[in-house]
Amino acid sequence: MSDSQLQTDDIETLDREHVFGTWRHQRDFDPTHVVDADGFRFTTADGTSFLDFSSQLVCTNLGYDNEAVADAIAQQAKSVPYISPSYTTEPRAKLGAKIADLTPGSLEKTFFSTSGTEANEAAMKIARSYTGKEKILTRYRSYHGATAASLSASGDPRRTVEDSATQPDVPGMVKAPDPYAYGSTLDPMESLEYIDEMLALEGGTVAAVLVEPLVGSNGVLVPPTEYMPRLQEIAHDHGALLICDEVMTGFGRTGEWFASELLEVEPDIITMAKGLTGSYQPLAATTVTAEIAEHFEDELLNHGHTFAGHPIACAAGVAAIETYEQEGLIDNAREMGEYLREELESLAARHPSVGERRGIGLHQGIELTQDPDERVPFERRVDKVTSRTTVLDEVAERAGEEGVYVFTSMNTIVLTPPLGIDETHVDEAIDALDIALEIADDAMDA
């Protein structure tokens, strides 16, 4: 059969037979053929159109039809499509300078890679080299990537599944509690004092504290405003750096370029990916302070990638940043985030199964509960790595039947739409969720 004769069933079967699905038992893998994407919607082969209200995996910040980014990719592909990282190109140099201008504090110099996972791997290696220490302290409700070290740094249940591919952890990872008031015995600020004691008991052996300023796929957790500055102070008191993983929250998602700004902290190292190009190209960055950069003037940066600073990806990054600026998308995310917050609060008041709304800007989530007094979840953490269909899965599916795509994680419906949305898109999503949440409301009595 020629490629031109392939039908949707053929494409889905070929993919199912010859391509691994991610994070799943392969028997459950049933991919749906997507044939078009435009604006903030994508369309499957059967003609069904979905409003993308999660930006896929919190990454398609610009939507699907940005001509400036597409043109930058095409133009760079026709000039210098690839060159070794030992050379430079205009897009790489310009993007490095733009990131230095946009990031908070004295963050100055960047290592480019291709995914958030790699960005966090680079950050950990840089911190270890700079401090001469080995350990990395992270939190239990966290996700930092899929490779050995970054998954070991994560607290996500994908790390703890009984599988020789993920266990034992890479040595040197230390886990701490989270700022999770809804589901923890510790108040968020009490959890900081716990971290302070942990670092003291580790005896000055921790190179860095690695955290998501706003936790993403582990429940959209928002710390108190004073949390991040105090966390950095604690880290520095014990000779550790603060690494902020902004793979999800970078590039306007919270209504600021980076969540670190919003939470009044200037990290020693910041990592980013996803929104850096709006996911038009795979690109990530690890950016460090001038002081850390100076360390490597005479010390070996023992790290590299074939595709580090890929010129096409960097061209996409420059064009994406220019789009954020020219179209006022950061301001729009702030304004639409406030509107979305208000509508979600109203939604929660109508549905007893909504236990808590959390989020900032267009980084929002609603956690569901079987019992709001006892805070009984519908979805257990272990369900992340099982084939069990949960009530949240059913809610997301029902929203999809109403034409709105959302994804769920850790008992939370994650709502992270593209930054260019308007009130009509919010209203459409809320209407779909209003219908879908009846499933959860009914399940409270089951």
pLDDT of residue 446: 58
CA distance linking residue 396 with residue 401, whole number of Å: 9
pLDDT of residue 160: 72
Question: Are 254 and 214 in contact, with CB atoms under 8 Å apart?
Answer: yes
- pLDDT over 60 at 2, yes or no: no
Question: Are 159 and 151 in contact, with CB atoms under 8 Å apart?
Answer: yes
Residues with Cβ within 8 Å of 231's Cβ and at least 6 positions away in sequence, in order, are 192, 195, 209, 211, 242, 265
pLDDT of residue 165: 65
pLDDT of residue 23: 83
Mean pLDDT of 197-223: 96
- With tokens 């919003």, the residue in question is 262
CA 133 to chain centre: 27
pLDDT of residue 57: 96
pLDDT of residue 1: 47
Over residues 379-404, the pLDDT tens digits come to 877 766 777 889 999 999 999 999 99
pLDDT of residue 3: 54
CA distance linking residue 336 with residue 423, whole number of Å: 7
Mean pLDDT of 355-362: 97
3-class state of residue 366 by DSSP = strand
Q: Across the beta sheet with 173-176, what order do the strands follow?
A: 107-113, 284-289, 269-272, 241-245, 206-211, 135-139, 173-176
Say yes or no: domain 67-326 is CATH 3.40.640.10.
yes
Q: Where are the domains of the chain?
A: 32-65+328-443, 67-326
Question: Are 176 and 183 in contact, with CB atoms under 8 Å apart?
Answer: no
Per-residue confidence band for 164, with pLDDT thresholds at 50, 70 and 90 = low
Instruction: Give the H/E segment covering residue 129.
Output: helix 116-131
Over residues 121-145, the pLDDT tens digits come to 999 999 999 999 999 999 999 999 9
- pLDDT over 60 at 317, yes or no: yes
**Residue percentage of the chain with pLDDT more than 90:** 85
User: From the CB of residue 224, how many other CB atoms can be counted at a distance below 10 Å?
Assistant: 14
Over residues 52-74, the pLDDT tens digits come to 999 999 999 999 999 999 999 99
Half-sphere exposure of 215 (CA within 13 A, CB side): 25
Mean pLDDT of 435-441: 98
Range picked from 16-25, 180-189, 285-294 for highest mean pLDDT: 285-294
pLDDT of residue 287: 98
Mean pLDDT of 338-346: 98
Per-residue confidence band for 263, with pLDDT thresholds at 50, 70 and 90 = very high
Over residues 71-107, the pLDDT tens digits come to 999 999 999 999 999 999 999 999 999 999 999 999 9
Task: Please give the CATH superfamily to which domain 32-65+328-443 belongs.
Answer: Aspartate Aminotransferase, domain 1 (3.90.1150.10)
pLDDT of residue 158: 79
